Amino acid sequence: MHTNAITDIAEDLVTVGQALSHQARVRILGILAEGERCGCELAEIIGLDPSVVSRHLSLLSAAGLIVSRREGPRLLWRLAHPEIPAILRCLARLTCERGENDVVADHLERI
């Protein structure tokens, strides 16, 4: 079987791609690019039920895009790697031709 750098990491790429496949999760990454936040703050900013935000956070965490730490009763979330905003900007440049409804392309300054 022929393998290369992409096929060697295909499963990881699919997991990250799935994590990026929802507008709310991309928005969460954009918010976390500005700094650490608790889930309750994210829910308020995005306007979603905290239980929905919790599921989104779980998927982003499983993909290795975010990490958490506990501070008393609060669970604080942050980007797992400082290069995530740059990677998202690169992905956005690939999709800018799609139109004005592109979430990432419309918010490059936030990411």
For the chain, the structural domain boundaries read 5-81
CA distance linking residue 52 with residue 18, whole number of Å: 16
CB 28 within 8 A of CB 43: no
Strand ranges (DSSP E) for the chain?
37-38, 66-71, 74-79
Write the CB contacts of 17 (distance below 8 Å, at least 6 apart in sequence).
none
* Residue 103 near residue 23, CB atoms below 8 Å: yes
The SS3 assignment for 73 reads: coil
At residue 111, the pLDDT reads: 46
Residue 48 has phi, psi (to 5 degrees) of -115, 160
CA distances 90 to 25, 50, 53, 86, 105, Å, are 17, 30, 25, 6, 10
Q: Is 53 in contact with 101 (CB distance < 8 Å)?
A: no
What is the pLDDT at residue 8?
Answer: 72
For the entire predicted model, the pTM comes to 0.77
Radius of gyration of the chain from Cα atoms?
Answer: 15
Average pLDDT per 10 consecutive residues for the chain, totaling 111 residues: 70 89 95 96 97 97 96 96 92 69 51 46
Domain spanning 5-81 has what CATH number? 1.10.10.10
